[in-house]
Amino acid sequence: MLGVDPEPGFGGGESQVLGLTLELRGLGHRAELACAPGKALWQKATAAGVVCHPLAMRNALDLSATLRLRRLVAKGMFDVVHLHTARAHALAPYLKGRGAVLVVTRRMDYRPNRLFAPWLYGRAVDAAIAISAGVARALTEAGVSPAALTVIASGVDCRRFHPPDEEERRRARAALGVEDQAVVIGAVGALEPRKGHRWLLEALALLARRPQAAAQRAQALCCKIVGEGSLCATLAAQARRLGLDAAVGFMGRVDDTAPLLHAFDLLVLPSLKEGLGVALLEAMASGLPAVASRVGGVCEAVEPGRTGLLVEPGDAYALAQAIERLAADGPGRRAMGRQARLRAEQLFSIQESARRTLEVYARCLNARAGKSGEMAYRCKA
């Protein structure tokens, strides 16, 4: 299998690409990547022993990148080419007929162009995977046939992301310099408009302005915002304007969030749009409840009142109420965290994601073999 992800940054999608690749290798399959040389995915993958092929793309119409990937696929080294991003997917028409089965994964929950979506997610590829029912719904609204889609949730390594023991939690909180009694809110994601961080800051400001009894509780709240993006300076200025300097810390990019999650008490995901949310799944696997927006695939991950709370996107008041509810109820919060961990293990493990992805590969290869009279492929996993 050749996974294709030419993006220069490293976000939730890239963590999924790397996780799937490593899991397939662990199952005995040959899994390699075509990605931007020297960038984060390349560095992490090569460090883990994955063979990477250079694929730098300026844009979706990069002819030189198209030709490089086409030549690589034409060598016949791969049974499956898995396209993981929109720019990678744009190359599908040029790879068709080069011998490999083409599979695309869609991670965004907004509707693509109705003129091209039915073709790009249909005839241009052998199979299309949506990471949530919300993403699949957006595709069908754009005219893609439901029969062309398979929903396979993103997966998280539940061995690496796990609830901390007492010592792990103590070390994590000491590294952040937070007091034992503080309730630490975590927000992990790109600092971009669609992630809704401005609403989180407004919610925290509302909590800080509550009457005295509530204000005393709010003093024990601190928020750590993890990530980088175009709104970094804007959000920092908003926090200062709202008087949140002492309560909110911007941590920038963190390459390994697993130890950091051990210090948190809950995760807040205030997104305006979200295919599913890798940060959410990693927090669930780490035993954290979530306060999240009722958008996209988030509704499929969070069970309201059981593993977290859902609020309408862009509603700072509802967000503040939900945060205060979990912050004030330690036993209830921890019980939700335990249920979140169980749900992550049952529905969102990287092992289950890889198993179902292999089933898609096998189905496509067998369909092609049936047409040509060749021996059918059998999935190892």
Q: Which residues are CB-neighbours of 188 under 8 A, at least 6 positions away?
A: 226, 227, 254, 257, 267, 279, 282, 283
Mean pLDDT of the region 236-259: 94
Asked if residues 268 and 290 have their Cβ atoms less than 8 Å apart, the reply is yes
| Residue 213 banded pLDDT, cuts 50, 70, 90 | very low
CA distances, 34 to each of 11, 21, 40, 56, 58 (Å): 17, 11, 13, 9, 15
The confidence score (pLDDT) of residue 371 equals: 61
Per-residue pLDDT tens over the stretch 331-376: 999 999 999 999 999 999 999 999 999 999 999 999 888 765 444 4
Ramachandran region of residue 362, left (φ > 0), alpha (ψ -120 to 50) or beta? Answer: alpha
Tell me the pLDDT of the chain averaged across its residues. 92
CATH number of 2-155+349-372: 3.40.50.2000
Alpha-carbon torsion angle 297, 300, 302, 305, nearest 10: 130
Pairing between β-strand 2-5 and β-strand 32-35 as defined by DSSP bridges: parallel
DSSP tag of 146? G
Residue 225 predicted with pLDDT over 90: yes
Mean pLDDT of the region 313-324: 97
Annotate 187-211 with DSSP letters as a single string: EES--SGGG-HHHHHHHHHHHHTS-
Identity of residue 22 = L
Question: Where is average pLDDT lowest: 10-24, 71-85, 216-230, 267-281?
Answer: 216-230
What span, in angstroms and rounded, lies between the C-alpha atoms of 273 and 312?
11
> Which has the closest alpha carbon to 191: 225, 223, 222, 238?
225
| Residue 212 banded pLDDT, cuts 50, 70, 90 | low
| Residue 227 banded pLDDT, cuts 50, 70, 90 | very high
- List, by residue range, all CATH 3.40.50.2000 domains of the chain: 2-155+349-372, 166-347
Per-residue pLDDT tens over the stretch 92-138: 988 988 789 999 999 988 888 888 899 999 999 999 999 999 999 99
The confidence score (pLDDT) of residue 375 equals: 40
Q: Considering Cα of 45, then 5, then 301, then 250, what sign does the dihedral take?
A: positive
Q: Where are the alpha helices (DSSP H) in the chain?
A: 12-26, 40-47, 63-74, 86-89, 92-95, 117-120, 133-141, 166-176, 197-208, 212-218, 232-241, 258-261, 278-285, 298-301, 316-328, 330-347, 350-372
What span, in angstroms and rounded, lies between the C-alpha atoms of 7 and 253?
16
Asked if residues 130 and 147 have their Cβ atoms less than 8 Å apart, the reply is no
Residue 378 predicted with pLDDT over 70: no
Mean pLDDT of the region 55-69: 85
Mean pLDDT of the region 174-178: 92
What span, in angstroms and rounded, lies between the C-alpha atoms of 196 and 187?
10
Domain 166-347 sits in CATH 3.90.1150.10: no
Mean pLDDT of the region 14-32: 95
